[in-house]
Structure 1
Amino acid sequence: MATGKRQIDDASAASDRRPGRLLRDGTLPDRVFERILAMIADGAIAVGDKMPSEHELCSALEVSRPVLRQALKQLRADDVIVSRQGSGSYVVRRPERAILDFAPVGSVADIQRTFEFRAAIEGEAAYLAALRRTDPDMLRLKAALRELDRCIEAGELGVDADENFHVAVCEASDNRYFTIARTSMKANILTGMNLTRNLSLTKPRERLELVQKEHYAIFEAIRDKNPAVARNAMRSHVENARKRVFEGNIAAVEPQAQFQTGVRK
């Protein structure tokens, strides 16, 4: 278990020395979040370990408590650590280091926020799409799904086909503001898609097939004009994608500290 300022310094230095990870972008809390995440991903703070104290982390990372607490809050939201009343915070999930290798520098926290945005926007777009979709809308959705099927068979990344499917859902809502809102975030969204699909290619083929089943669930709900099911299917899909970013080794936790992991891939 990593405790004490020197051990945190060593862990932080080791993470910072990894090629290509110069943590200069993003807000200060985001950079601190990524440095702690790197320590956990590298195993310097192991699954099941109690996190070092706020004093030790602030001293080693040279940040204020408010900044550190924002970073820790994000780690809790991402189910990487949990707090136990009267005991402190514990590492319950070790994300794969590939998260930091695939993601652009300083972007991991923003990727997570983008997933939150998508769940809200695209969930409602799917709801309206189920009410308003036309035959041409269904043809566009079906074409995107077929291209995704082809990408899975060919072992290709499939980011463009994935993006086309989600754009087609927004267009089927017959409300241009959903498309405009999503387009305004396109760069962030594509970063997240590239990350999740790259990570999926490192897993057994079943991972991508399960992702595709989620796409088909959205398609079928829209086809069947079931708005509530379409909304839930889309929100679940986006939330599952967010959770898959931080999929890794999970510690056994006490009942009061357990968290919901959603659908796993």
Structure 2
Amino acid sequence: MPHQVSYLVTTYADEPAKDRSLSDHAYEQVLSMIIEGDFPVGTKLPTEQVLSQKLSVSRPILRRALKQLRDDGVVVSRQGSGSFVQRRPEGVMLDFAPVGSIADIQRVFEFRAAIEGEAAYLAAARRDETHLTRLKDILQELDRCIQSGELGVDADEAFHAVVCEASDNGYFAAARNSMKSNILKGMNLTRSLSLSKTQARMQKVQAEHYAVFDAIAAQDEDKARDAMRTHVMNARVRVFEDS
């Protein structure tokens, strides 16, 4: 089994806390300016020198921030030309996740992809009929929430919690519980944003839940891991989608 968890935790721990804080702040400032239309889609961002001076950060710190924006699909680098705005997230995002929380929410998604992907892998091997019944019931509740236009955060959280429980390894549940408030913040954000779009968007999210369930039910460990990781990382990307 790959050791994604160790890699993510080590990478995060090795980065000085002060640098993380500064790069997070720069990341959120640039993101906010893009959302507010200061840098329209297709336009080139100011040079690193100009932008670092504007944000009062060093160029290495700014590069970390720009890398995060590239990872989010908000900006794209063109060799020899600089960074260009590729996507403008909707302003409503800042209503659900004020500047100062977005970078942390995105890191939680990375952590969840690692933790919950491995939990799903083990759940596929170890689940019993009780787990499958509970997951089916939760999926039906999520279907109901979609049809009635409800947020469905509690049911969404329950689905992921049962997958961890089905792994028969309490450390997965403990890891999630230790940061449950952060996880719920991300779920509230992504489901609120999806609810403000077409119902097809919520159906897409639900299809990902079903893919996880189907793999666990079929006891296909690798497929379960991939489906869970894909679902969580898609949620991370959906924060910045405009449709």
TM over 0.5: yes
Structure 1 residue runs of 4 or more that deviate by more than 6 Å after TM superposition:
none
Q: CA deviation at 1:64?
A: 2.1
Output the amino acid matched with 1:246. Answer: F
Q: CA deviation at 1:34?
A: 1.0
Deviations 1:29-80 (A, max 9, x none): 2122111101111221011111101121122222222322221121111111
Structure 2 contact 151–192 (Cα < 8 Å) conserved = yes
Q: Distance in 2 between matches of 1:243 and 1:206?
A: 16
Deviations 1:4-27 (A, max 9, x none): xxxxxxxxxxxxxxxxxxxxxx92
Corresponding residue of 2:186:
192
Aligned residue for 1:199, secondary structure, equals helix
1:93 aligns to 2:90 (yes or no)? no
Q: Distance in 1 between matches of 2:52 and 2:210?
A: 46
Q: Distance in 1 between matches of 2:110 and 2:54?
A: 31
Q: Distance in 1 between matches of 2:134 and 2:43?
A: 49
1:78 pairs with one of 72, 86, 89: 72
1:176 aligns to 2:170 (yes or no)? yes
2:138 pairs with one of 138, 141, 144: 144
Higher mean alpha-carbon deviation, 85-94 vs 97-106, is at 97-106
Output the amino acid matched with 1:239. Answer: M
Corresponding residue of 1:14:
none
1:218 aligns to 2:215 (yes or no)? no
Corresponding residue of 2:126:
132
Deviations 1:115-154 (A, max 9, x none): 1111111111111101000111112211211111111121
1:107 aligns to 2:101 (yes or no)? yes
Which is richer in helix? Answer: 2
Corresponding residue of 1:48:
42
Structure 2 contact 45–83 (Cα < 8 Å) conserved = yes
Deviations 1:161-213 (A, max 9, x none): 00000000000000111111111121111111000000011101111111111
Q: CA deviation at 1:232?
A: 1.0
Output the amino acid matched with 1:166. Answer: H
Corresponding residue of 1:64:
58
Output the amino acid matched with 1:49. Answer: T
Q: Distance in 2 between matches of 1:130 and 1:104?
A: 37
Give the TM-score of the pair, scaled to structure 1.
0.81
Q: Distance in 2 between matches of 1:51 and 1:114?
A: 27
Output the amino acid matched with 1:247. Answer: E
Task: Give the structure with higher Rg (CA).
Answer: 1
Q: Distance in 2 between matches of 1:247 and 1:51?
A: 20
Output the amino acid matched with 2:48. Answer: E
- Aligned-pair identity in percent equals 64
Q: Distance in 2 between matches of 1:86 and 1:194?
A: 39
Give the TM-score of the pair, scaled to structure 2.
0.88
Aligned length: 224
Q: Distance in 1 between matches of 2:88 and 2:98?
A: 20
Structure 2 contact 32–99 (Cα < 8 Å) conserved = no
Aligned residue for 2:88, secondary structure, equals strand
Output the amino acid matched with 2:79. Answer: Q
Q: Distance in 1 between matches of 2:123 and 2:215?
A: 9
1:159 aligns to 2:156 (yes or no)? no
